[in-house]
Amino acid sequence: MARLSREDRQIALGRLQAGQSQSAIARHFHVSQSTISRLWVRFQATGSVADLPRTGRPRATTAAHDRFIRLRHLRNRFLSASSSVQALPGPHRLSDQTVRNRLHEAGLRARRPHRGAVLTRRHRQNRVQ
């Protein structure tokens, strides 16, 4: 199930304060009723709908790096991950696998140029005629 964006959480909260039911709001945003319930409980406890900091290893790339990698590969589908690592601006040294992971997250797949059949002398003669 998709996460609610910060704007959607604020809209849902406004609807709750206006008296709309949790189930109606949940149907509108295509989430479960318990999601809206937890949002309301968290707002009452903290007074905010902002995301809390998450645990885990920090990402090696920024959002700008991710966009750069994605655009570079959209412009030239046959680039290798290692060539993207070398072209990244700044002092960061990423692994090829990190670039592959970012491409996978963006829904891009590896491409390989098509190699046609080798043309023989007979092929060339037939083409001229």
Q: What is the 8-class DSSP label of residue 78?
A: T
The verdict on residue 22 lying in a domain is: yes
Distances (CA, A) of 13 to 30, 33, 70, 111: 15, 13, 35, 45
pLDDT recorded at residue 19 = 95
C-alpha–C-alpha distance, residues 20 and 26, integer Å: 10
pLDDT recorded at residue 45 = 93
pLDDT recorded at residue 98 = 93
53: tokens are 């900091």
Is there a contact between 48 and 37 (Cβ–Cβ < 8 Å)? no
User: Quick count: other Cβ atoms within 10 Å of Cβ 50?
Assistant: 11
pLDDT recorded at residue 28 = 95
pLDDT recorded at residue 72 = 93
Quick one: 67 and 41 in the same domain?
A: no
User: H-helix or E-strand containing 100?
Assistant: helix 96-105
Task: Please list the pLDDT of the chain residue by residue as tens digits (129 residues).
Answer: 467 889 999 999 999 999 999 999 999 999 999 999 999 999 999 999 888 888 899 889 989 999 999 999 999 988 888 888 888 877 778 899 999 999 999 999 877 777 888 888 888 888 887
Domain count, the chain: 2
Domain enclosing residue 71, as ranges: 63-105
**Does the pTM of the predicted model rise above 0.75?**
no
The verdict on residue 111 lying in a domain is: no
